A and B are shown apart, each in its own frame.
Chain A
Amino acid sequence: MASRHNLGTVVSFEFWRTIKKPSFWVATLSFPVMIGLIFGIIFYSSHIGQESSSQLAQEKFTINYLDESDIVLPTVAQNFEATEIDDKQQGIEAVKTGSIDAFFFYPQTLEQPLEVYGKDAGLFDNGKYSAVAEQMLKTSAAASIANPELVNVTQGAISSEVTTYKEDGEQSAGWMAAIPPLLFLVLFYFTIAMLGNNLLNSTVEEKENRVTEMILTTLNPTILIVGKLLATFLAGAVQALVMFAPAIAAYFILGAETVNLPNADILSNLVVDPTAIIIGGLIMIGGLMVFTGTLVAIGAVMPTAKEAGQYFGIAILIMFVPFYIIMLILSDPEALVVQIFTYFPYTAPVTAMLRNAFGSLSIADAAVVISSLAILGTFIILLAVRLFRYGAMQYDSRLSLNALRSKKR
């Protein structure tokens, strides 16, 4: 009962002091602020661009053209107030002397580029000449095709629905089935990448602050470590909420199209396979146990946060390694490298989650991966507690194996 009370006390203390740190909010808010800025710039540029295009389209300028391709229809040219002439050189000279604004030359074969000559209107406004030249050609081509569907085809306005079948004849769900289990991979990656360093610092902090002896005589180190892990996950949940809340709020308030998120139809098409979801969740938990336990162990051995921090980069690198062979993982899951990555504890979480999402991880394979991650993760956390207990007394140096042996309880 006292242990449970102390676990709650540790979780509360560690959680609140984590989220009270300015660095936590800088890291948490920088992501949505950066995304917001990028989207703001894109939105603003797009808005300005559209306004400029409209202005340019309405802007009248005098055009001469020579069409050797015989595609441009006189009626279309008339709409653009363009006048056909029969001498290319004359058209160019007219632009040079300023008697007209633009001259377009459509060569006999369109394998050659259109030649556009115009009076200099500035770096940005000069784009209007080629835009109008191309539009005259496209409009004329579309007008020459009687069938509107063919026009759509030529303009690329086509879509396709792909249906594939597995070996047993059952319809394959494709990407729609892969997305839900892949969310565990995203969650796993964000948790370690954004909070791993925090966990590392938090573990080494007792030693740096010389508070270890008071802690070890007041609190079971297992409770302290588990409390720190739980507080880290809670802080991660706050981070996730802060990061994604604006997007979720915008989705519901402004609508899917405005925020460029998948619309409700796409969401409803997602195939949720309970087996894949459970396996993905269990692999993620096992992976978190292995990685967070390892980070705590590193923190327990190192004398300062600075020294411990050097190892955080290595942990992230190892976690990232499977992405270098992602095509092999997806296309040939039986390859030796993929098999090694599936069962090596530090590459297993990412590799197995990818294979699970794309349906190439059998239940038997998943059981082996999950149980080995759980067993190893538990072992690493227990080792981390042991290292914390003894490494914590090594205030100014790393814990050596000899020291560990001589002080073991």
Chain B
Amino acid sequence: MLAQSTQPVISIKNFSMKFGSKRVIDDMSFDVHKGETFGFLGSNGSGKTTTMRALLGIYQATSGTLHINGKKFEPQDGATLGYLPEERGLYKKESVIDVMTYFGQLKGLGKREAREWSLDYLKRVKLEDKAKSKVDKLSGGQQQKVQLGVTIMNNPDVLILDEPTKGFDPVNRRLLMDIVEAQREKGATIILITHDMSEVERLCDRLILLKDGTKAAYGTVPEVLEKFQKHTMDEVFLQVYGEDAAMQEGEE
């Protein structure tokens, strides 16, 4: 596990969020340290995406402070942040290389640099022959690969990945997680929002598990397993959500 500095890269204190009269998050606090891979877990609708949107200034928190590198996030800090949102999409009628170059430029790269980086990345994920294809001609999985490329462009210090492997087959899931691990080795701080507990056990230094807008578990993987007296994170998840999770699965 990577060493942690005292100054957290991400600091969330007493964060609460309400939509109308509905309270989604209730007085939640946690820190994420430099170089850490942090698992952000919870069932559907538990407030994970809302927390990330509030952290990134897309939503305004009802109360509390949410800081990245000691201050509230502003879009101009986007050059040092990579965010793969839950709602995925790219400019569908543009070519893959044009879209990637555009985002690269927005993240502070020069046009040529962004283009070259994009072509290298497409080669790495075996999409080099799709560079000039329109985005909407790509399969869903191929589009996700492109979007992950856009997210990790310019080697961001902080990566927030909301279910990065959703919808991937095992081969491509491994390929993408290798890319994420490579970013971690470069020193990136990563928040990983996922339902895949094996990914959590393999990658995460620490985690938080949300239930009903509050943290049901918080700590390193061994600490959480110890606390719940379980052998796997799957078992912890099932214990925390119990029948709720089974019902959700049944509904799906």
CA distance A217 to B19 in the complex (A): 21
Interface string of A217-255 (1 = CB under 8 A from B): 111110000000000000000000000000000000000
A406 touches B20 (CB 8 A): yes
* Nearest residue, chain A, Cβ from B92: A209
Q: Given A218-B78, A409-B60, is A6 in contact with B90 using a C-beta cutoff of 8 Å?
A: no
A210 touches B76 (CB 8 A): no
A209 neighbours in B (Cβ, 8 Å): 89-92
How many residues of chain B get a CB closer than 8 Å to chain A's CBs? 36
Which residues of B from 72 to 101 have beta carbons under 8 Å from A?
A: 73-76, 78-79, 81, 83, 85, 87-94, 98
Pick from B19, B75, B98, B107: contact of A406, CB under 8 Å: B19
CA distance A407 to B19 in the complex (A): 8
B102 touches A9 (CB 8 A): yes
How many residues of chain A get a CB closer than 8 Å to chain B's CBs? 30
A2 touches B76 (CB 8 A): yes
B57 neighbours in A (Cβ, 8 Å): 216-217, 409
A216 touches B75 (CB 8 A): yes
B75 touches A220 (CB 8 A): yes
Q: Given A17-B94, A406-B20, A407-B59, is A218 in contact with B105 using a C-beta cutoff of 8 Å?
A: no
A217 touches B83 (CB 8 A): yes
B88 neighbours in A (Cβ, 8 Å): 210
B73 neighbours in A (Cβ, 8 Å): 217
Interface string of A378-409 (1 = CB under 8 A from B): 00000000000100010100000010001111
* Nearest residue, chain A, Cβ from B49: A213
* Nearest residue, chain A, Cβ from B76: A2
* Nearest residue, chain B, Cβ from A216: B58
| CB of B8 closer than 8 Å to a CB of A | no
Interface string of B130-144 (1 = CB under 8 A from A): 000000000000000
| CB of B56 closer than 8 Å to a CB of A | yes
* Nearest residue, chain A, Cβ from B87: A210
How many Å from the CB of A93 to the closest CB on chain B? Answer: 77
Residue among A3, A217, A221 with max Cβ neighbours from chain B (10 Å): A217
Q: Given A13-B102, A209-B89, is A219 in contact with B58 using a C-beta cutoff of 8 Å?
A: no
Interface residues of A (CB under 8 A from B): 2-3, 5-6, 9-10, 13, 17, 21, 205, 209-214, 216-221, 389, 393, 395, 402, 406-409
> Could you name 5 residue pairs across A and B whose Cβ atoms are closer than 8 Å?
A17-B91, A205-B91, A213-B87, A214-B147, A217-B81
A sample of 6 more A-B contacts (CB under 8 A), given A209-B91, A211-B91, A213-B87, is A217-B57, A217-B75, A217-B78, A220-B75, A406-B18, A407-B60
